[in-house]
């Protein structure tokens, strides 16, 4: 419970700073997932890499702003953001996969200001400092203990893969999602955290928790989006709606026992969107359902391939 409280206090503080400064994107939605994970698992991959935690999302955000400034929203610009973010993570040797979302979020929102990567750096930098302090002063025994089986599974999920047979399926899913978002006129069918959720699902299918329960994933994502919109509509942007949206997400993940931490970012997306109404949970439902269907086809194909082999 203390982990949840610390994460909520951190996100409430970030939301308060965003409201006071008028810089909404200080509230980078993926901070919800990052903060929850580093306080929940002080021995985890993200918590053990504070420099990468602080710098990786800002570095990919710079690419996102560059792409948004010089290219229209299209399949080509999306591909540049996603591939470019992967390259940045590879060159930096960074395990912070949610940084991909920082790149694509700029393009999704049409964000062209250089305040965007700076705002992200301030948020992730503050999280890195607090995470390091938490490990050092509040969890010394856990920091030096032997990692548990659960920690090792999470570490594998939070690392870049070494095998790439899943890539064609991932690319087809992304392409289909883009076409569907254009056909429906709802850009958020291709919501930024979807890339992170799908990547970890396809790349680490054997160990990814939500890959084991893909049908439930769609419901969780849609409910998180609905809670985010409802909190924003009721209380307006700021501390209360941010904390309530994140709290709902945490309670939902714990109640369903679905360890899909990237889904926490979905509930905070309405805070940084220009317009966030009932179309957003509908779009998230469409995108996440498409992911579930695509992954089930991938699993079926993989199983058939293993049987033939």
Q: Give me the chain's average pLDDT, please.
A: 90
- Token look-up 């779009």 returns 283
CA distance 8 to 14: 10
The confidence score (pLDDT) of residue 206 equals 87
**Reported confidence tier of residue 305, pLDDT bands at 50, 70, 90:** low
The confidence score (pLDDT) of residue 254 equals 94
Token pair, residue 20, equals 């006071």
Query: Rounded mean pLDDT of 6-23?
Result: 94
Q: What share of the chain has pLDDT > 90, as a percent?
A: 78
User: pTM (2 decimals)?
Assistant: 0.90
CA distance 138 to 202: 35
Chain centroid, CA 79 distance in Å: 18
User: What pLDDT, in 10s, does the model give residues 204-259?
Assistant: 888 899 999 999 999 999 999 999 999 999 999 999 999 999 999 999 999 999 99
Residue 134 has pLDDT above 50, yes or no: yes
- Name which of 176, 256, 174, 183 is nearest 222 in CA terms: 256
The confidence score (pLDDT) of residue 157 equals 52
User: What pLDDT, in 10s, does the model give residues 272-288?
Assistant: 999 899 999 999 999 99
The confidence score (pLDDT) of residue 162 equals 54
Residue 163 has pLDDT above 90, yes or no: no
Q: What share of the chain has pLDDT > 70, as a percent?
A: 89
**Reported confidence tier of residue 182, pLDDT bands at 50, 70, 90:** very high
Q: What are phi and psi of 49, to 5 degrees?
A: -125, 65
Residue 149 has pLDDT above 50, yes or no: no
**Reported confidence tier of residue 44, pLDDT bands at 50, 70, 90:** confident
Query: Rounded mean pLDDT of 69-74?
Result: 96
CA distance 159 to 152: 11
**Reported confidence tier of residue 143, pLDDT bands at 50, 70, 90:** very low
Decide if 148 contacts 20 (C-beta within 8 A). no
What's the residue count for the chain? 309
Query: Rounded mean pLDDT of 183-198?
Result: 96
- Token look-up 């040797």 returns 93
């Amino acid at each position: 419970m203390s982990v949840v409280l610390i994460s909520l206090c951190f996100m409430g503080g970030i939301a308060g700073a965003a409201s006071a400064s008028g810089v909404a994107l200080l509230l980078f939605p993926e901070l919800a997932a990052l903060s929850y994970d580093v306080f929940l698992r002080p021995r985890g991959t993200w918590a053990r890499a504070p420099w990468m935690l602080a710098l990786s999302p800002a570095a990919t955000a710079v690419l996102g702003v560059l792409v948004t400034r010089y290219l229209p929203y299209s399949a080509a610009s999306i591909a540049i953001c996603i591939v470019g973010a992967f390259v940045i993570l590879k060159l930096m040797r960074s395990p912070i996969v949610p940084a991909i979302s920082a790149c694509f979020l700029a393009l999704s929102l049409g964000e062209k200001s250089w305040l965007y990567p700076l705002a992200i750096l301030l948020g992730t930098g503050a999280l890195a400092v607090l995470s390091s302090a938490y490990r050092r002063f509040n969890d010394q025994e856990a920091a030096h203990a032997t990692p548990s089986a659960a920690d090792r599974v999470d570490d594998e999920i939070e690392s870049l893969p070494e095998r790439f047979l899943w890539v064609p399926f991932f690319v087809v899913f992304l392409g289909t999602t883009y076409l569907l978002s254009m056909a429906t006129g709802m850009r958020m069918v291709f919501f930024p955290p979807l890339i992170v959720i799908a990547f970890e699902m396809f790349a680490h299918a054997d160990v990814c928790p939500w890959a084991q329960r893909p049908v439930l994933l769609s419901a969780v994502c849609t409910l998180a989006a609905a809670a985010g919109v409802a909190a924003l509509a009721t209380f307006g942007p700021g501390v209360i709606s941010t904390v309530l949206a994140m709290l709902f997400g945490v309670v939902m993940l714990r109640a369903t026992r679905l360890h899909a931490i990237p889904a926490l970012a979905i509930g905070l997306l309405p805070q940084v969107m220009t317009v966030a109404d009932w179309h957003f949970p509908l779009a998230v439902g469409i995108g996440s359902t498409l992911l579930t269907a695509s992954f089930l086809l991938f699993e079926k194909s993989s199983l058939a391939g293993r049987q033939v082999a």
